[in-house]
Structure 1
Amino acid sequence: MFPPILTSLMTNIHNQAIFVFFFLGAGASPLPLMRYQKLNGFLS
């Protein structure tokens, strides 16, 4: 559907977004791991 380069770039951005959300959640929540797992399940 997409060229491989574009797909890998989108995947890389997606992974970075998860990392940023996890980082923000870790600072904002006493339960960052649970928030990360919920976010990961929601996005994937």
Structure 2
Amino acid sequence: MYTFITFSESAETKREKLPEIMHIFLLRENYYTNLDRVL
């Protein structure tokens, strides 16, 4: 979903949104890593 939104917008908007998207992916990875640790 996020990639689709980014691709359909201009390069400038992409550069602005990239940190947000990376942040979301990092949060999701951390969440799953912590989940594995708990289980």
Q: TM-score, normalised by structure 1?
A: 0.54
Which structure 2 segments of 5+ residues have no match? 1-6
**TM-score of the two chains, using structure 2 as the length reference:** 0.59
Query: How many pairs are equivalent?
Result: 28
Percent of pairs identical after alignment? 7
Gaps of 5+ in 1: 29-44
Pairing 1:10-21 to 2, within 5 Å after superposition: 10-21=21-32
Structure 1 segments of 4+ aligned residues over 3 angstroms from their partners: none
CA RMSD of aligned residues (A): 1.5
